[in-house]
Chain A
Amino acid sequence: MQCYRDMPEFIAQQMTNLGAEVYYHEFLPQSKHFHPLKFFTSTASSMAVKPNGTYANFGINTIGIIRAPRGDGKEAIVLVTPYNSQRVQSNELLSLALGFSVFSLLSRATWLSKDIVWLSADSQFGEYAAVSAWLNQYHNPMFLSHPVILDTKMYGANKIIYGPDGTTEKADHMSFKRAGTMAAALIFKVGETRKYGDRDSVTMYAEASNGQMPNLDLLNVVHYLAVHRQGFRVNIETFSSLLSSSWLKVIAEVFQNLGSVLRKINPDWKLDVTVPDYVEGTANLANSMYNQALGVPTGSHGAFRDYQVDAVSLEYSPAFHLRNENAKSSFLLRGGRLTEGVVRSVNNLLEKFHQSFFLYFLAAPSKFISVGVYMIPFALLLAPLPVVASALADDSKAKGKSVDDCKTRGDADDLQIRGGSWKWLKSARVLLVIQIWAVLVSLLPYYISQIPSAMAIQYAVIWAVLSIIILIALYAMFGSPYCAGVEWKLLKATMITSITIGLGLMSIINFATAQLGALILIPMCLFSLPLKVQLEMKLLPRTVLLASNILLTVLGFPPAAFLIMKGLSKGSWTLDIGEFWSWMEFLWEWSSATYLYLFLVHLPCWLLCIHVLLHPCHPPESKVKQE
């Protein structure tokens, strides 16, 4: 591998020798864009990158298609092997070898009924970019009136790849070929690190953008074939810090003892979980929830999910040294058989995978928690909120009435509006102002990111300062909540109503985000009590309430939560606002709905909570009483 520019050509030559249709797909790296609202709009328009000038640096995907000998070409199965054409590592060579061996086997298969597409994706700009560029061209091709001009512009560096006499072949290799509707996609690569152990292991990655998952049946097929047929150890991503945590072990032991006691009572109840199982399951589940909640795909399979194609990434971690030829060939055999098995399973399907297994968390490669189970705790968390809100509103109404009674009936009409059933309008106005502020804050990065060549920390500071200025300006325009004389109970009721709606909506878009958000937001809202009211309480409840209020409020502030999360996972507690900016940038680049959730549901709720905590408590009423 002296000259890496030859890699696509070499792969194409091998594919041609197998009798496959071959073409190159050239793409440009995508620039960063602020598009958090892409989630709601179509993916079609945003990708059309207009090339201007000659690009020396572009990625080249090499695609080979095997037409099923007797198939009708309606459907296709996609195999993806990513490799970096600029700097090919030995593990990437091994994954290309695996792809090639599977492809050459399938080119001789007579049983194929779906076409096979092998995409060797050039991952010099990242795997996802390569795969998503190809998928976009596959599904939303650009129709240009002057294709020739574009060709010379965009692919000005063609000479590097094509020889001077390969003009006809070039034309043949440049035309984009398709192979029908994609039935499923399998991405496989060999990991860089060697894992010591008795068996080679495979790590499955499945989370796509915004918590979407591929059909569970695909994961089950992969897991079954890998474990029971080819003897791989199958893993999913996990929080390794949780695996060694002592408090989790204590909980696990409690559960184990409880389970064994229950078993003594009735031997039919099989509720006991062993400690390692419980700890591992919890760590896996936490990672699965975290990845779904983040809303960022864990690999190039996410690009397929955007087009409703089931896809899963497999990362092989060989237990042998990559120079060991014998172990390598045995690995190629077993890895190839696994891929062939998955291809056979999908190939033999007449219909799609069953429609109802898309919503789940993975607790182990073969264990999952389905939507029917995980909806229950969330529903239980959310269900009391409307009751609390109405109770608070009712309470304040009753108080208002009692105030009314001791008053003279001179200006009854005015009082009815002010203190009667329309009182909630004031708190609703506060909520509206804060929501407007939240929308403005969430849109600010679009303008801030236009500022050229600044550091992340500068962006973050500008963002924070602008947010505070906007809040003050809005209060100046519409009046601050305390001046208007809104009761804290009504304010709290409004806040609870708004988070009920927000969390309910979010649970439809990305359940995991809503679930994790509810764990912080709901206690924060329910515990919030004005500090002045707290002063009237006894010492013990007061300190408990105060401590929980402060703790939850700190946790509820997104930058603080980010810092704590980073500290827990990495152990570095250095305060860096710039990192928060880059994290947010990461979220909106991937068009994650979590960004919208953070700024349209979480942040306004937190601000309202602060308002409730600092509420001056009954100044208007006390005024009335004095009168």
Chain B
Amino acid sequence: MAPPLSPPALRRLLLLVLSLLITSVAAENVEEFTEELLLRPLPDRKALAHFHFRSSAPPSAAPSRHHHHFPKAIAQLVHQFHIKELELSFTQGRWNYEQWGGYDPMSTNYAKPPGVELWATFDLPLGEIDATWKNLTHTLSGLFCASINFLESSTAFSSPRWGFKLNEGNLRYGALPREAVCTENLTPWLKLLPCRDKAGIASLLYRPSVYKGYYHSQKLKLASSKSFGIILDQTLTVVLQPDSVRGKQLHSADGQLQPSWSMKDLFNRKLSGKCLVSKSSRVFFEIEKNIVDKVDKSGTEASWTNEIFVLSSAPDRVLKEINNMDGHSSSICEYDVSNYNEDAPLDVGVTWKLPLIWSCTPAPYHANRFLMGSGNERGSISLSFISTNMHKQLFDVSNDCSIKAVVFQVVPWYVKGFLHIDEYPPDANQGFDIPSALVTFPEFNSSRSYPETDSLFVSPLLRTFKEDGVVKSYTEVLLVPLTTPDFSMPYNVITFTCTVLALYFGSLLNALRRRTGEEERELKKAGNPTMLICLPVYDAHISCVI
């Protein structure tokens, strides 16, 4: 922003002026942008980083009005297709529900199936929705460099009225499990941010480390209404293996120290200030409930420094989860990025002092989906639910163990023995993908609420933790290997038939058109019989015909 050679005083002044300008704009309640990052150590020696960016635009009458930093492409998209809500996620890798948790807001809201998942609700009459959906998929595929347009075919999307989200038939859902996700999808996503990845928290997104991770899911969530305008939530969830020399042993084993890591180890960068247009810019370090338990057992209070671990710098604030059920609750250390600059960059991290083994709270049931049978015979898709012991802990009732679980899965209608040739996908020999099923446990709620310290400003990230916490988990994507015909067969048949026909007609023509008497006469006329006799008659004749 500021010229690099200017003295620090001048730069500070410039910053001040800019931030004053921004606050004056924000005071008019026009457009807001917040950026947040949540870090969390995971039990299997990995680390979770969750980026959350929120841009909001006020309601406007004219669709083509000028925006300060809200992405115009999104605003136009919302107006054009009358979108009420939209969620688009690009995911690579699988969320490990057993190790990384299945009963917290992170896994419930940000664990997504591999590939692309898109759903949208429209503010349109029911008859126009399908056509709008098709246009929307094309627009999005142009916007995000992905083949989302494959979702336009009627076999790829569905309109569930219940099971996924209750609606009046204006919701469309589609998933592309085969879509490969990479940096070409991240770049357009970053372009929607006001500072892109040049400043602020997004500058941590060092591509090699993001794509080296075990799981990354970038998500775009849109909500629009006449009252609050458009809210655009952009999130990126990554699970990384801390790349530190200290934690050289890669595998978790009993008695080994967890790897100590910081933002520098994860992203190869430190945070040197916020995106200047952002209203708030914070970094959270979440300490899981089970860690807090263990720390409490050791006798010290679970603050940012204790006997077991120490955070790299003192947080600005420590938030404790409001929890009525039992004494222990997770806590969050909050850092305000605006307090740091290039001279004193922020590098949040954790250093473990003692080995600690903990586990994340799992979902009440592990849902696994698999194929049964083999070949075309007796094939079936089965879902198995394996209870984790949490159910007993919560209710302690062994007799009445009925639990409500809602399974939502889209199985393409073409999963059958024999297909028409048009129904095969482009690379049919790979098999057919069946998108992940979504299992919802409506009786379990994973939402977490934190005390609001600042009455003026509530963190959008923590607010999402509070709302819509029904426990959900996605199952595996399935690959159905169906018998595929040899698609080169028509080509072979065509070439063989043509050869046979050519031979047949060639010899037939040869036989019909041959006039032996005339040939002999012509030979005599030419007067040079020796040369022509050397030539086979067949060849001579062919040249004649030509």
Contacts and interface: CB of A to CB of B under 8 A. Distances in A.
Interface string A369-389: 000000000000000000000
B486 A74 contact: no
Given A17-B251, A19-B250, A73-B94, A350 B375 contact: no
A42 B377 contact: yes
Contacts of A350: 427, 430
A351 B251 contact: no
B390 to A, nearest CB: 12
Contacts of A5: none
B36 to A, nearest CB: 26
A67 B94 CA distance: 9
A407 B389 CA distance: 96
Given A42-B378, A178-B370, A72 B477 contact: yes
A101 to B, nearest CB: 15
B371 A181 contact: yes
Contacts of B215: 70
B92 A73 contact: no
Interface string A72-88: 11110000000000000
Contacts of B114: 72-73
B252 interface: yes
Given A69-B214, A74-B479, A352-B431, A140 B93 contact: no
Contacts of B477: 72-74
B373 interface: yes
A108 B250 CA distance: 8
B430 A351 contact: yes
Interface in B345-380: 368, 370-375, 377-378
Nearest to B250: A108
Interface in B474-514: 476-481, 484, 486
A350 B479 CA distance: 12
A139 B373 contact: yes
A17 B386 CA distance: 24
A485 B374 CA distance: 52
Interface string A431-468: 00000000000000000000000000000000000000
A574 interface: no
B197 interface: no
A178 B386 CA distance: 13
A355 B429 contact: yes
B258 to A, nearest CB: 14
A348 interface: no
A168 B390 CA distance: 12
A351 B93 contact: no
Given A19-B252, A71-B93, A308-B374, A356 B486 contact: yes
Nearest to A135: B374
A110 B374 contact: no
Interface string B77-107: 0000000000000001110100000000000
A139 B427 CA distance: 25
Contacts of A168: 389
B212 interface: yes
B374 A307 contact: yes
Interface string A48-60: 0000000000000
Contacts of B253: 17
B321 interface: no
A596 to B, nearest CB: 20
Contacts of A67: 94, 96
A308 B476 contact: no
A181 B253 CA distance: 30
Interface in B394-437: 427, 429-431, 433
B174 interface: no
A72 B94 contact: yes
A351 B94 contact: no
Given A110-B212, A350-B430, A352-B430, A75 B375 contact: no
Contact of B368 (A108, A178, A307): A178
Interface string A186-201: 0000000000000000
Contacts of B94: 67, 71-73
A141 interface: yes
A180 interface: yes
User: Which of B93, B177, B484 is packed against the most chain A CB atoms within 10 Å?
Assistant: B93
A69 B214 CA distance: 5
B484 to A, nearest CB: 7
User: Which of A19, A67, A356 is packed against the most chain B CB atoms within 10 Å?
Assistant: A19
B286 interface: no
A183 to B, nearest CB: 9
A69 B44 contact: no
Interface in B232-287: 250-253
A463 B431 CA distance: 48
B200 interface: no
Nearest to A306: B374
Contacts of A72: 93-94, 114-115, 177, 476-477
B287 to A, nearest CB: 24
A184 B10 CA distance: 66
B379 to A, nearest CB: 10
Nearest to A17: B253
Contacts of B92: 70
A71 B93 CA distance: 5
Contacts of B375: 307-308
Contacts of B382: 141
Interface in A326-368: 350-352, 355-356
B481 A352 contact: yes
Contact of B481 (A18, A110, A308): A308
Contacts of A352: 429-431, 481
Interface in A158-202: 168, 175, 177-178, 180-181
Contacts of B484: 355
B367 to A, nearest CB: 13
A292 interface: no
B373 to A, nearest CB: 6
A19 to B, nearest CB: 4
Given A110-B212, A352-B429, A75 B479 contact: yes
Contacts of B486: 355-356
A369 B92 CA distance: 43
A427 to B, nearest CB: 39
B177 A19 contact: no
Contacts of A180: 370, 476, 478-479
Contacts of B115: 72
Interface in A112-151: 139-141
Nearest to A140: B372
A102 B484 CA distance: 33
A141 B370 CA distance: 10
User: Which of B374, B430, B484 is packed against the most chain A CB atoms within 10 Å?
Assistant: B374
A181 B431 contact: yes
Interface in A298-317: 306-308
B338 to A, nearest CB: 35
Contacts of A139: 371-374
A43 B382 CA distance: 19
A67 B44 CA distance: 14
Given A19-B251, A74-B433, A139-B373, 4 more contacts: A71-B93, A75-B479, A141-B372, A307-B375
Interface of B: 44, 92-94, 96, 114-115, 177, 212-215, 250-253, 368, 370-375, 377-378, 382, 386, 389, 427, 429-431, 433, 476-481, 484, 486
28 contacts: A17-B253, A19-B251, A19-B252, A44-B378, A69-B214, A71-B93, A72-B94, A72-B114, A72-B115, A72-B177, A73-B114, A73-B476, A74-B476, A74-B478, A107-B251, A139-B373, A140-B373, A175-B386, A181-B431, A181-B480, A181-B481, A306-B374, A307-B374, A308-B374, A308-B375, A352-B430, A352-B481, A355-B484
**5 closest cross-chain pairs (CB), A and B:** A74-B479, A351-B429, A72-B114, A307-B374, A19-B251
Interface of A: 17-19, 42-44, 67, 69-75, 107-108, 110, 139-141, 168, 175, 177-178, 180-181, 306-308, 350-352, 355-356
